Structure formats: C-alpha cells, structure tokens
Amino acid sequence: MAWEVDGFEEKVPKISNTFQHLNVSNMITVDFDKRDITVILMEVFEKYEKNIALKSEKAEITYKNLQKQILQISNQIKEEYFKAFGCLFGPDTIIPVISKNSIEQWLICLGVIFAGGAYLPIDAKTPEERILKILKQLAPTLIISDEIIPSYKSMALTELISNNVVNSRSMFKTSPTNAYNLAYIIFTSGTTGIPKGVCINRLGISNLILGAQKFLSINSNSIIYQFTNFCFDNSILEVFAALGSGATCFISDGYFSADKFCQNITDYGITHAMLFPGLIETFDDNELAQFEQLKYWICGAEKLSENLFKRAMSLGINIIQNYGPTETTAYCLRKKLGPKDDPQNLGTPIQNAIVTVRRPDGWEAMIGSKFELFIASVGLTRGYLGRKWKDQPFVTFGDGLIYYPSGDICQRLKSGDIRFVGRKDNQVKIRGFRIELDEIESCLLGYPTINTAKILLNQKKEDIIAFYSSKIQIEKKELKDFLKQKLPYYMIPRFFIFLETFPFTSNSKIDTKKLIEYELKSFKGISFDGTNVPMETAIKQIWKNILNLDSSNFDLNDSFFYLGGNSLTAQKLITRIKNELKLEIKMEEFYRNPTISSIFKMAKISQEESIQIFNDDLSVFDKIPLSYQQEQMLYLEQIDPESSYNLTFIQEFDKNLDIKKLKAAFFKLVEENTVFRTIFKESEDDLELYQEILPMDKCFIDVKVESFNNTNIQKLELKEFKHAKFDLFNEIPLRVKILETQNSFVILLVVHHAFSDATTTMLMEKEMSRLYQGKEKRIISSVRPMSYQEYSIKQKSKEFKENLEALTLEYLENYNSIFKLPPAKFESIFKTCNFTQLCETFKFRLSLSKSKYTPFTLITAAITKTFVPLFPEDSFLLLGFPFANRTMETSEIFGNFLNNLLLPLTSKDLNISLDELQLKLLELLKYGKIPFQYLCKSLRQKQATNSMNIQIYVNCRYDLENEAELDFDEIDATSTKIPILNGVFEDVTNYPIEIDLDELKSTKKTSTKNYEITVRISKAFLEANAAMEATQFWH
C-alpha cells in the first residue's frame, strides 16, 4: 500500500502482491478500465455535465454541479484532517459517515472517496451501543455526522454541505490512490455478536459499473430508483451504476410506500428499480402492473416466491435476478428471467468473476448436486476489518484463485446457471437485511437472568422468534428495550417465548424441530373478513392478524413497531386496510404516529374526505376548464371542418340479448359517468371555454332498435351516423344505435374523441357488462380515483403548469439540434395533413412474449426501420405515436387523457439498430405528461423552424372496433369482423404512413400476446415513392 495512517495497518487488511496476482490477474475475463474510480467518474461528470445526476422530489443536481460540490467537500475534508493531525489525508483512511437518507449523504460519501479515503456508512437510527461497537473496532481519527459524537474528532455534515468554497483546488494534496485502495467498508452481522466490517476496493466498483452498463442496460438516459439504505451494499449498485453511466439517481424523500413508488415511476420516468421480493409481495395487482413501465425490476437479497414471479410474468414485467454477498462488491451473479425460468435461478457470473459449487472435500460438485457456492472476483473483499490474514474467510482450490465461501447452498444446472437452494449456516436474510441469528442470540444471553436462548425464523421465514429460559418470565417490553440498545431495529425479534426448560435431542443439542412445533401451536393465524363490522373493530382485527397478537396483548396507544412490526408488515397493514375497508392511510402519517388509535383518526378523516368517483358536486369551482386534450380536439375540428373526430364502439350479439336490460345499462352508464353528460360553454366575453355537466333530465338520448336489411341506402346512413359531427356546445358527446338482423343485434356507439380514448373504450366494455348484469361497481386502485373534471382542473393548476414548463424546456433542449436545422429541410407539422385518400392497407398478426418490454414501442421501431430505404440521405423524419398518459388516479376513468409524442429523427438516427431505436422511443416516454397542444405552442414560440418532411403516425386502437369480448350473462359476442358492416368504415389515412396496433384478447392463459398490425400508406406517398414494393414491407 502507498501509505498508512495512525496504525491503520493493523486494522485494514493489506493487499499483498500475491493477493493481487491470484485474485485479479487471473480473473480478467473481460478487459475493463482499471484506473482509480475517481478518474473514471470525473470523465463521466465532464461528458454528461448537463445531465441530472442526483434527483429527489425537492431538489436535483447536474453532473457539473455534482463535480463542483464533491471537489469542494473533498478539499474541506483534507484541510480539516491536516489541521487536526498535521499530516496528509491518505489512501485507506476510513471516515465513518453517520447520517439519514438524503442527497447530501451521498455527496459526503463521494467527497470522502474523491479525497482519497474510504467511507464507512452508519445509519443515524442505529442504536448508540452498536455505533460505539463499530467505532471501537475502527478507532477512527475523524467522523462526519449529523450530530457530534463525544470522544471523537467530528465534522458536521451540514457544515460540509453549506460551506460554499468557490475554489475547488486545494493546497492539501492527497497521496496517490489506485484501484486497489479502499472505497468503502460496510458492517454486517457477526456470529460472535460483534459486527464485522467488509473492506471493498475501488476496482470492484469499476467492474460493477461495467456490468451494469452491459447487462442491466444502464446508460445516460436511465433513471435509477435509489431505495436501499446507504449502509447496505445494494446502495452501491444503485448509486455507482447510475453515476458511472451518466444516468440519473432518483432518491425519494420520506418513507417508502407502494402508492408513492408507483407515482414516482410515472412522474419521474424511473427505468430501473432494485426492490426485494418480500416488499413487492405487499403490492396489489394494480400497483404491481406499474412495474411494466420499468425497463427492469432488479430483485435480490432474498428468495423470489413462485407466486410473485408468476404474477410479475403475467403482467409482462422484466425481471433481473441479482445475487451477491456484500463481500463481492454488491453482486456477482445475474439472470434475465423468462416465464419458463425457475425464480431461484441466479444465472451466470458477471464479467471478471468465477463461481464454483464445491463439495466439503474441495472437489467440484457434479451438475445438479447441492453444495456450497464459492466466489472469486476482481471485486472480492480485501477481508474483514481488524482480522489477520489467517483469520480471513478465504480459501483456495489450487487453480491460482482466492475464493470467498458464500455460505449459500446452490447447484449448477446443465445450462451453466447457478440455482439457489438455501443457507448453510445460521445467517439469514429478512427484508433484504443480512442477519446472523447467532449475533442476536449472543446479545440476548447478555441479559442478566437468561440462562439459555435460541433464535429461529418462523415458518414463513419472515419473522424472528426468540426462545429463552430464565428463573422468571421477563416482560416482552423489557427484553425489547434491552436489545434495542445493542441491535438495529431489523434484528429485534418479533416474538419472545418463555420456556422453563428447552427440549434437547439425544445428543444433547437444542431440538429446533420441537421449538418450531411450539411456534406453530402458539401463533395460529386468524382469517378475517372485514365486511359488516364496525370500522374500529375491523382495523383492530387486521392489526392483530398482521402482528399475530391476541386481544389482551396490546394497548391502543402501543407503537406498531414496539409490538414487533417492521417496514414490511407496515406495508401489509396499510394494504389490507385499503383493500378490505376501502380506506386510504398515508404511509408517512402512519410512520409519524404508528398506533392503532392514530389509525382510527386517519381512517375517520379518510372516510370524511372520500368522495364518490361520479360526484357531480364541483360547485366549489367557478368554471371547470377544458383539459389540454379537449382543447386539441376542438382545435382540430375548427381547422378541419370537413373531418369528424369520433371513436366507434361496435359489438354483435345473438338474439338472446335482453334489449330492455341493455338500454337500462346504457342510461346508467351515462348517469354514472359525468364525462358523457358534459357540454362546452363559452364565457360571456367569449375569451374562455369551460365544461358544464348536465343533469340527466337535460340529456337527450335516443336509443332505437332499427331493422337492418343490408341495403346500400342503409349503409350510407350508417356511414353518416359514424361520421356526423357533434355540436359539442349543445349536445352530449355520444350517440347509440342498435341494429336488428335476422340472427343478431349489432350495437353501434359513437363517442367524440374529446371525451374518449382507447382505454375508455376498454372500460366501456367492462362497464356495460357490469351494468347489464346489475353488479355493484368495484374500483381496485391504490389511490382515490379522480373524476375527469378534477383532472382538467389539476392540469390548469399553477403547480402543474410550472412542472410542465420545466419538462418542456428539457424536451426542447434534448432535441434542439434537430429542430434548429435549416428551414428548407422542413414542412410544417401544424398544418393539417390532408392524406385522406383511400390507401393501400397491409395487415398481419404478430405474437410476442408477455415478458417483452413495451411491444408498442418495439413494433413502432421495427416498422419504422422497414421504411428506412425510402428516406433520402438528407431527409428528416417525425415519428408520432400516442401515449396513454394515465396514472393510478385515472386508470379507471372515462375521458380523453391521450397525448401525442413526437420523436424527431435525422437520417443518421435511421442507421442505428432496432434496439437503439426502440430505446429512443422509450426515452421519449418521460415527456408523456406534456400535452400535445402545449408542445406545439412551445415549438412555435421557441424554435426557428417547425418540423419534418416525412411523417409516420402510429395509432393504438385497443378493442376499438369489432373485437367483441363482452360478457352479458350467457350472451355470446362475436369476435370476428361483422360482415353486414363491410364497406361502411373504409380505410383512409391522415398521414403518409399510419400504423394501427390492436392487441387481440385471448381467453387462454399463455405466455404470449397477439397483435393485429395494420399499416395504411397513402396513395400519394406510394406514387411519390414508386420504388417501394409491397413485398418489401412484409419482409
């Protein structure tokens, strides 16, 4: 090592030349940058200086500012160190950082690394006794903390952040560091009751970044959700994978909750999230479905259950299995899971790592045999802090490598993948935390009157149970309070069981099987149905079920966490109250007051604030503004008076259909959904438009049944019925017609696009079925749904507009170079594209795996690439496609939420690969909140030119026409084209190239989704590009 500080050579395991040779030189399977991590990061910071590096709900820091702040902090650390000790701050100097989760926390950790040292993260909520145990092992010369630690030289974290040092240069230099110097130390649970410090080199982080870029597809456009507490190793993967790739690391403020996380995905365009399976088990299906917006859900830290795996696969979620002890720099095995994979398949090693499954005698195990997993890697720990080399955990097998015994029982599969089986020793993982049960046992035996203790997991492997014997039974509170002084909260047993004597086996060992049987008898779960009981009684019962308590075991003012709850069971509690009692309890409020009495108060407020989804009482607002989507539709009608912007819903049923029930269902649909009873109004000065909701008695709805004989005159009438313009200022925006043929009924429902989109059409199917059958409405959502009028009001709020302006400026900046090309290269996109001639239509069907990410963008990219040969070298393409633009609040609401996204491309962009083009489309989704009308206005105002000379528009017509799947009791709907309507709805295109993507429903449970793709090409475009042949498209 280059330099040692104040006896640290006795604390930090040295890196000998032998170690470097054995564990690194022979490990290089893929070449990578082996310079110091600070050099690598500095190049990234400069390359992506305008990108957002760290972001939260309240703040954000660009890479340029991040670089500046880190250098300032590192210089202050070096200066303070020199002033205090009279020597330079050198490599392998360890600085404990005691802090709460925040952006500032990571600025300090990075500042320590850039100063040349290594940071040791300690959560500020860790019990004082445990903190002192760690500090005693380390004997640090300097500490950075939220609060001053007595007996130690401390620097205040807030002062380091607030000191604005203009000059980033420092007279206090650092001794040279290299990739083999320490980057950080993380303390994990130890079998002796003493936490052990895992020492990790900088080289491991460089290798981790390479793996994240190659396998996890993290790049400068990614947004990584930072979930893990910084004193656990998964945080290393989250933060350094982001910062090493020019990506954004999103650090959420406050407490984690399912609702908040799902909203973060939508609001901030999260692409990667690393959340452990036990937490995700608490998500309902609607919340879990939001994961489809992620590029990858990276799971690890504990077993992925078969049930959760199947749920995620059925929703088309991309899962990466991630495995690695803290000793291997966060992770060393990974696997992209498919529907047919085993959820315990850990995959293959990352680059520059080797794993082997070995028998106890050291020989490599046969394929399929279950033995311990050993890991060699360039990211392997230097060892545990304060231990001599002979006491380190490493082993060798004569192949020139040093291995770490993981303690995990695994098997190598025929494919070469590694499958996880279970733990070898008494170490477990609960909610992502690695825990030595022996450490808890050792601490519990420190209680004065306890003679014997045994710590086990319950049957579900979710909770820690402490068995103990003592002369007298000890109060649970007293034992908890005793352990809280020594252990972090996640290691406190949830249950304490007093035994006068322990059961023993024939060879005088504690009989754990009998202890488990005792646990099963003691804590039998109680099933519960929250219906038809008072709210307080129902909440009490859920509380008891979650905590496995009997009625005499808790007080209304006892803390949930004092009674044995944790973050995972808290999420379960909130989820069950929401699902069973339809009450919304905010996680942040619950964490502030985690008692059952406070839940009663919050539930009462939730009941009082809860409003009906179809409530007409919006009188608190003077006028309800038009949404941006409604403004766009109205604008299009005004500039193109010959066209109509109507959506058509068509279903065919056999003659068993009850017409009376159908009519009643239709009237109920209009009554319950205010959007169908809405007209537009002008203000008295004609300067403002607003929405007015009509009462049912003022809605004229004519539902007639007409005989249909398939004559040309009737077909013309149907065409006129479909295309007839609505007078949105005087009539409601929908009309219905029922045709009766000899063998069937055909329902035609026409809705103006200002009040409907493709999702509305799907909802209409479900609602008509429900109302026809007289069933009660059930909204299954993680948040209270809003009405369309509330959505419109929110869109025009000051806060929304401020966010909109910032997002639009970012969009314009990202595509500035294309939009500012010479005007001669462009045609305006703002004039109407009059390509309404009959067109050539190509149709085909495609099957894709449900796990395939965003087939919509994949198909769009593929078809766009098909037309590449048609584009001249100097042409510019504007690719447009719709974005559903729905959130948890609006997922079940009728109305037009649709946005049109615009991706400007140059001829250079068209030469990229299909995957890269798809990635560009996915990156565009982050701008999905920008209303098209608003974007067009901004482009006019801020850009010198308008748009491109070639336009492709991709439409999404899910279940819009002739895909009847209604369930009207036993009445069957046809699922094929309705022959009587042939020729009524002709194929036309409004763009040179227009694509319709229609997802076909399937009644069978399969691993694939089927799509019908329709490509319409205007005759004018075909004539202008005569070189194109139809066969080319099919290829």
Q: Which of 522, 553, 580 is the last residue of a domain?
A: 522
Q: What is the pLDDT of residue 407?
A: 86
**Is 145 contained in some domain?**
yes
Give the three-state DSSP class for 357: strand
Comparing CA positions, the residue from 379, 202, 414, 215 lying closest to residue 298 is 215
**Residue 110 falls inside a structural domain:** yes
For the cut 80, the answer to whether the pLDDT of residue 363 exceeds it is: yes
Structure confidence at residue 967 (pLDDT): 39
Q: How many CB atoms lie within 10 A of CB 937?
A: 13
Q: How confident is the model at residue 176 (pLDDT cuts 50, 70, 90)?
A: low
Q: State the pLDDT at residue 70.
A: 94
Question: Among 474, 496, 522, where does a domain finish?
Answer: 522
Alpha-helix runs per DSSP H in 449-555:
476-484, 512-522, 535-547
Question: Residue 974: what residue type?
Answer: T
pLDDT of res. 869:
61
> Per the domain annotation, does 846 fall within a domain?
yes
Residue 953, pLDDT above cutoff 80: no
**Regarding predicted confidence, which is higher, 944 or 628?**
628
- Write the Ramachandran bin of 689: left for phi over 0, alpha for psi from -120 to 50, otherwise beta: beta
Nearest to 680 by CA among 689, 672, 688: 689
Three-class SS state of 21: helix
- Does 494 share its domain with 643? no
Mean pLDDT of 597-617: 58
CA distances from 418 to 28, 410, 639, 949 (A): 21, 7, 62, 53
pLDDT band at 266; cut points 50, 70, 90: confident
757 and 638 part of one domain = yes
Contacts of 915 (CB under 8 A, 6+ apart): none
Residue 296: the pLDDT is 93
Rg of the chain in Å (alpha carbons): 32
Is it the case that residue 239 has pLDDT exceeding 90? yes
Residue 687 lies in a domain: yes
DSSP state of 25: G
631 with 599, same domain: the answer is no
Out of 128-132, 357-361, 651-655, 807-811, pick the least confident. 651-655
Window from 15-19, 111-115, 155-159, 216-220 with minimum mean pLDDT: 15-19
Q: Output 767 or 603, whichever has higher pLDDT.
A: 767
Give the integer Cα–Cα distance in Å for 249 and 99. Answer: 19
Same domain? 150 vs 290: yes
Q: Which residue do the tokens 């909802």 mark?
A: 763
- The DSSP H or E segment spanning 299 is strand 296-300
Residue 944 pLDDT more than 50?
no
Per-residue pLDDT band at 154 (split at 50, 70, 90): low
- More confident position, 1027 or 852: 852
Residue 14: the pLDDT is 58
Find all residues with CB under 8 Å of 257, minimum gap 6, and list them.
571, 574, 586, 587, 588
Q: Which residue has the higher pLDDT, 536 or 212?
A: 212
Q: How much is the average pLDDT of 472-483?
A: 87
**Cα 1034 to Cα 243, 381, 574, 1029, distances in angstroms:** 43, 54, 52, 9
The residue among 584, 734, 745 whose CA lies nearest residue 673 is 734
Give the range among 459-468, 515-524, 623-632, 696-705 with minimum mean pLDDT. 515-524
Please state which of the ranges 402-416, 516-530, 900-914 shows the lowest mean pLDDT: 516-530
**Residue 460 belongs to a domain with what CATH number?**
3.30.300.30
993 in the same domain as 844: yes
Which amino acid is residue 863, in one-letter code?
A: I
Residues 195 and 336 in one domain: yes
Pairwise CA distance, residues 70 & 63, whole Å: 10
Give dist(CA 98, CA 229) in Å, integer.
Answer: 12
Query: Residue 672 has what pLDDT?
Result: 86
Domain carrying residue 456? 435-522
Distance CA 298, CA 330 (A): 13
Of 128-137, 287-296, 442-451, 920-929, the one with minimum mean pLDDT is 920-929
pLDDT score, position 353: 92
Mean pLDDT of 482-505: 81
Please tell me the distance from the alpha carbon of residue 828 to that of residue 20, in angstroms, as a whole number: 63
Q: What angle do CA 186, 566, 479 make, to 5 degrees?
A: 90
**680 and 763 in a common domain:** yes
User: How far apart (Å, rounded) are the C-alpha atoms in residues 443 and 962?
Assistant: 68
Instruction: With a cut of 50, say whether residue 948 has pLDDT above it.
Output: no
pLDDT score of 608 more than 80? no
CB 5 within 8 A of CB 93: yes
Is residue 971 in some structural domain? yes
- What's the pLDDT at 831? 33
Q: Which CATH number is 631's domain given?
A: 3.30.559.10
Whether 799 is in a domain gets the answer no
- The Cα–Cα gap between 1030 and 1019 comes to 13
Give the mean pLDDT of 532-541: 70
The last residue of a domain, from among 722, 757, 790:
790
Angle at 712 between CA 709 and CA 716, to 5 degrees: 110
User: Among candidates 489, 451, 495, 493, which has minimal Cα distance to 472?
Assistant: 451
The chain-wide mean pLDDT, for the chain, equals: 76
The answer to whether residues 308 and 387 belong to one domain is: yes
pLDDT of residue 349: 93
More reliable by pLDDT, 677 or 1029: 677
The answer to whether residues 223 and 168 belong to one domain is yes
Q: How sure is the predictor about 388, in pLDDT bands with cuts at 50, 70 and 90? A: confident
Q: Residue 31: which pLDDT band, with cuts at 50, 70 and 90?
A: confident
Q: Which residue has the higher pLDDT, 708 or 56?
A: 56
Q: How many Cβ atoms from other residues are within 10 Å of residue 886's Cβ?
A: 18
Per-residue pLDDT, 655:
78
**980, two tokens:** 């009587």
CB 207 within 8 A of CB 4: no
615 in any annotated domain: no
User: Which tokens is 738 given?
Assistant: 């029922």
| Mean pLDDT of the 637-662 span | 77
Determine the average pLDDT of the residues in 83-90: 79
Find, among 382, 387, 326, the residue nearest to 19 by Cα: 382
Lowest mean pLDDT among 521-525, 693-697, 758-762, 884-888: 521-525
DSSP 1003-1017: SS--SEEEEEEEEEE
Question: What is the C-alpha separation between 179 and 34, in angstroms, rounded?
Answer: 6
Structure tokens at 708: 């249909």
pLDDT exceeds 50 at position 828 = no
- Does residue 966 register a pLDDT over 50? no
Provide the pLDDT for residue 226: 93
The reported pLDDT for the residue numbered 612 is 36
Q: What per-residue confidence (pLDDT) applies to 18?
A: 41
What tens digit of pLDDT does each residue of 570-600 get? 878 888 887 777 777 877 778 777 888 888 8
Looking at the structure of the chain, the number of domains it has is: 5
pLDDT band of residue 530 (cuts 50, 70, 90) is very low
User: Residues 6 or more apart from 907 whose CB is under 8 A from it?
Assistant: 871, 872, 873, 874, 875, 876
**In the structure encoding, which two tokens stand for residue 807, read together?**
């997002």
Greater model confidence, 423 or 420: 420
Question: How far apart are alpha carbons 131 and 222 in whole angstroms?
Answer: 36
**Hey, what are 589's tokens?**
């409020």
**What does the pLDDT read at residue 68?**
93
- Measured over the CA atoms of residue 447, residue 449, residue 452 and residue 453, the dihedral's sign is negative
Whether residues 601 and 705 share a domain: the answer is: no
Please report whether residue 426 resides in a domain. Answer: no
pLDDT by residue (tens digit) across 21-30?
444 545 556 7
The residue that leads in pLDDT, 704 or 264, is 264
Amino acid at 993: I
Determine the longest span between alpha carbons in the chain, in angstroms.
101
State whether the Cα torsion 577-579-585-591 is positive or negative. positive
Mean pLDDT: which of 108-112, 266-270, 542-546, 634-638 is highest?
A: 108-112
Query: Which tens digits make up the pLDDT trace of 749-764?
Result: 889 988 988 788 778 8
Q: Are residues 298 and 370 in the same domain?
A: yes
Task: Say what the pLDDT of residue 893 is.
Answer: 85
* 517 lies in the same domain as 545: no
